[in-house]
Amino acid sequence: MPTQPSKALEAFPNPEPGRDYEIQMTCPEFTCLCPKTGQPDFATLTLTYVPDRLCIELKSLKLYLWSFRNEGHFHEAVTNRILDDLVKACQPRFMKLVADFYVRGGIHTIITVTHQVSDRR
C-alpha cells in the first residue's frame, strides 16, 4: 500500500533528556497552494529545536509536510501552523522554523517563527 500524506505527527523519547542539544532538519521540498490564485508555492523549511522529553519522528514529519501540498495557505499562516503543530507534538525547550519561499510575483518571502519555554521544570 502506498504511503499517504497525514496530519499526524509522531514523537519518540529523547535519548538524552538531561542534555541541551540542537536538532536541525532541512526540508527543501515543501509545497502548498496560494489561497488567492491556486498556483503552487514552494519553500525550503529549516527546523531547529532543542528537545525536552520527545523528538519528532522523521517519517511522520515528511508525511505531515506532504499533507499541505493541495491546500491553500498564506505563507505566514502555514508557517505558524506548522510550528504550533510541532510544538504540540513534542513540547520542545526551544523551536525555530524558517520558511524560505521561492520568488513569486517578484517577491522573495522568508517567515521565521519561534517557540521558547520561559521557565524550565
Per DSSP, the three-state class of 63 is helix
Please pick, among 34, 52, 85, 100, the residue that the annotation labels catalytic.
34
Q: Identify whether 41 is a catalytic site residue.
A: yes
Burial of 13 (0-12, 13-18, 19+ CB in 10 A): exposed
The DSSP annotation for 78-105 comes to: HHHHHHHHHHHHH--SEEEEEEEEEEET
Q: Identify whether 32 is a catalytic site residue.
A: no
Per DSSP, the three-state class of 61 is helix
Please pick, among 41, 85, 90, 100, the residue that the annotation labels catalytic.
41
Which residues are identified as catalytic? Answer: 34, 41
